[in-house]
């Protein structure tokens, strides 16, 4: 009887082992399908999150750009200036060039950003050093600009007077310069103008998008 029980057990044990071995590919396959499905769902979720983040950044960036332009237009009219523009060093973490992307001009005044693009920084080192080191620069006569390249570009633009206000990031690093021009020497009422420009610069500098 005992022998018969052992034989029966061994027969069924063999069957069970064979069944288990046969089921392993199905189990493994099922696990891989589940795992892949989970990964696909997580990938879809991440893609959707990235899309939402990008859409949000795009909306914020557009809002900031609109605000910057609006602030510059307000400056132009309050100060009765002829040009208002921002000189920016770029790329963001390795300043190789200077460009003007943001500019507003009084009607009939030619924009400087048409020719002020990708100017190598080594062509106007003194002007760049002055902009980076000084919160304010004021030129009632551009003949006082002691950088030949910068002076020649201002002459080409028809500039007669300049007020420049430094723009910095949250780490107080120079990221650009807000420039106000009166090309017909109307004369700035200096102190009130500087207060107005300073207020505008402070509101602009922390939302100014970098030039890549």
Alpha carbon separation from 6 to 2, 15, 19, 84 (Å, rounded): 6, 14, 20, 99
Q: Quote the domain boundaries for residue 103.
A: 1-212
> Residue 140's pLDDT is what?
86
Q: Rounded to an integer, what distance in angstroms lies between the CA atom of residue 181 and that of residue 161?
A: 6
Distance CA 150, CA 26 (A): 75
Q: Which of 169, 212, 181, 188 is nearest to 84 (CA)?
A: 181
Residues in Cβ contact with 132 at an 8 Å cutoff, skipping those fewer than 6 apart: 166, 174
User: What pTM did the predictor assign?
Assistant: 0.73
User: Into how many domains does the chain fold?
Assistant: 1
pLDDT at residue 183, rounded to an integer: 58
What pLDDT score does 10 carry?
59
Query: Residue 16 has what pLDDT?
Result: 67
- What is the rounded distance in angstroms from the CA atom of residue 147 to the CA atom of residue 150? 5
Here the CATH number for the domain that contains residue 95 is 3.30.450.40
Per-residue pLDDT of the chain (212 residues; tens, 9 = 90+): 545 555 555 566 667 676 677 767 777 677 777 767 666 676 666 665 666 555 556 567 889 999 999 999 999 998 889 999 999 999 988 899 999 999 999 999 999 999 999 999 999 999 999 999 999 998 888 889 999 999 999 998 888 888 999 999 999 999 999 999 985 555 666 777 888 999 999 999 999 999 87
Quick one: pLDDT at residue 19?
Answer: 67
pLDDT score recorded for residue 176: 96
Cβ density class 151-178: b for 16+ within 10 Å, e for less: bebbeebebbbbbbbbbbeeeeebbbbb
Q: What is the structure's pLDDT at 94?
A: 85
């Amino acid at each position: 009887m005992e022998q018969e029980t052992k034989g029966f057990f061994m027969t069924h044990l063999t069957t069970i082992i064979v069944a288990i071995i046969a089921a392993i590919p199905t189990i493994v396959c099922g696990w891989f399908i589940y795992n892949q499905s989970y990964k696909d769902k997580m990938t879809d979720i991440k893609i959707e999150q990235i899309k939402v983040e990008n859409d949000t950044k795009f909306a914020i960036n557009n809002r900031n750009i609109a605000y910057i332009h609006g602030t510059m237009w307000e400056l132009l009219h309050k100060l009765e200036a002829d040009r208002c523009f921002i000189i920016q060093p770029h790329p963001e973490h390795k300043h190789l060039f200077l460009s003007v992307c943001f500019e507003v001009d009084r009607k009939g005044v030619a924009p400087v950003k048409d020719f002020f693009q990708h100017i190598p920084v080594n062509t106007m080192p003194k002007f760049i050093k002055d902009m980076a080191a000084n919160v304010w620069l004021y030129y009632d006569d551009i003949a006082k600009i002691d950088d030949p390249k910068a002076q020649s570009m201002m002459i080409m633009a028809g500039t007669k007077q300049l007020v420049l206000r430094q723009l910095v990031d949250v780490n107080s690093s120079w990221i650009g310069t807000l420039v106000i021009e009166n090309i017909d020497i109307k004369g700035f009422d200096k102190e009130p103008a500087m207060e107005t420009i300073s207020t505008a610069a402070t509101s602009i500098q922390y939302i100014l998008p970098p030039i890549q």
